[in-house]
Homo-oligomer: A and B are copies of this chain.
């Protein structure tokens, strides 16, 4: 999808249902305490379970397992098992997952301007 043809949120006024759903999809995929750290951890390279765990010091294996499962079910992450001993499981972002960095960039941009705009305005 190109810039020039991108649908804007404001244009969605007329037929909002599917647009609202799409925005909500995106939000759901990145919502929660650990989703961004996990996605961030996979943004530059594929990683294994324990590797991600080491990369995100405070996450418990329970949460990591649960969130990775969520991300996999939502088509964000691909899980590959290698029959080595001990077993090796590799996680990597899907194409969609990689494209999410465009959204994160916009969030970064907005977040920084918002910090600027809000400094000392309490």
Copies assembled? 2
Contacts of A102 in B (CB 8 A): 106, 109-110
Interface of A: prevailing SS = helix
A residues adjacent to B (C-beta < 8 A): 1, 6-10, 12-13, 16, 19-27, 29-31, 36, 40, 43-44, 74-75, 94-96, 99-115, 117-118, 121
- For the complex with contacts A27-B30, A102-B109, A103-B110, 17 further pairs of A-B residues with Cβ separation under 8 Å are A7-B105, A8-B108, A16-B40, A21-B111, A22-B111, A22-B115, A23-B111, A24-B111, A26-B107, A26-B110, A27-B31, A27-B36, A96-B110, A96-B113, A99-B110, A99-B113, A99-B114
